[in-house]
Structure 1
Amino acid sequence: MMATAEETLYPPSSLEEGQTIARVIKATGNNIYSVELPSKESILVELPARFRSTIWMKRGSFVVVDGTALEDRDNKLSGEIVNIVRDDKAWRKAAFWPKEFVKVVVEESDDEESTVGKLPPSDDEDV
């Protein structure tokens, strides 16, 4: 279990043929996940037994999908999750990270007043 968790911390030097990074859209049940490829295509992939109950994924996290792993099966699954991106800061530095998944930095402008930590306006203020 620890070896599996440790394996997901650092990116490999390169991805094998047929592998790509995808963003998790949602869990559809029975260890099947809907993921979005860099091409914006949505596919269904399976989470193998070695990751089950070991590493939890949430919406928006990234995984490495092998599109050739389930070619011999005749079903709706388009691939298998072969790795889970846990430290995305390290993974984003890798040469194979898709430019479509580049992290967007939101800059705050000084013109707008921040509403963080403030109560919403009351109905009395509208009068």
Structure 2
Amino acid sequence: MGLPRRKLLATAEETLTPPDELTPQQQIARAIKATGNNIYLVELASKQTLLVELPARFRSAIWIKRGSFVVVDTGALEERENKLGGEIVNVVRDEKAWRKAPYW
């Protein structure tokens, strides 16, 4: 049994508007490919590639296509001993609105 529809819609609406500012550990990245098990390979603006995890709240609500943009928190998984370099905290869906933000 999946999540209630109201929770899925709230998660999807949350990604439409960009946040006012990003924390120092958050960066905008481009999704290169889905490697499986909700793990994605992303490329940061500095051309560095990272493996990042898609959190459970986005898994059934949002799909990430190759080439789309996501906001990655690189400090979220520092305490875990694995290959993951961060966690996806937001998915850019309305790219025009996001490009107007000062941190883009």
TM-score, with normalisation over the residues of structure 2?
A: 0.92
Secondary structure of the equivalent of 1:36? strand
Considering only aligned residues, what root-mean-square deviation do their CA atoms show, in Å?
A: 0.5
Q: Which runs of 4+ in 1 moved over 2 A?
A: none
CA distance in 1, matches of 2:90, 2:59: 12
Secondary structure of the equivalent of 2:63? coil
Unaligned runs of 5+ in 2: 1-7
Aligned length: 97
| CA offset digits 1:7-29 (Å, max 9, x no partner) | 10010000122000000000000
| CA offset digits 1:88-110 (Å, max 9, x no partner) | 0000010000xxxxxxxxxxxxx
Higher relative contact order (CA closer than 8 Å, sequence separation 6+)? 2
Q: Is 1:61–2:68 an aligned residue pair?
A: yes
Point out the structure with max Rg over C-alpha.
Answer: 1
Q: Is 1:96–2:103 an aligned residue pair?
A: yes
If each structure's helix is expressed as a fraction of its own residues, which one has the higher value?
2
Aligned counterpart, 2:17:
10
- The 5 A counterparts of 1:1-127 are 1-97=8-104
Secondary structure of the equivalent of 1:11? coil
If each structure's strand is expressed as a fraction of its own residues, which one has the higher value?
2
CA distance in 1, matches of 2:11, 2:29: 19
Secondary structure of the equivalent of 1:51? helix
**Percent identical residues:** 73
Unaligned runs of 5+ in 1: 98-127
TM-score, with normalisation over the residues of structure 1?
A: 0.75
| CA offset digits 1:65-105 (Å, max 9, x no partner) | 000000000000000000000000000010000xxxxxxxx
The one-letter code sitting in structure 1 at the alignment partner of 2:18 is: P
CA distance in 1, matches of 2:60, 2:11: 11
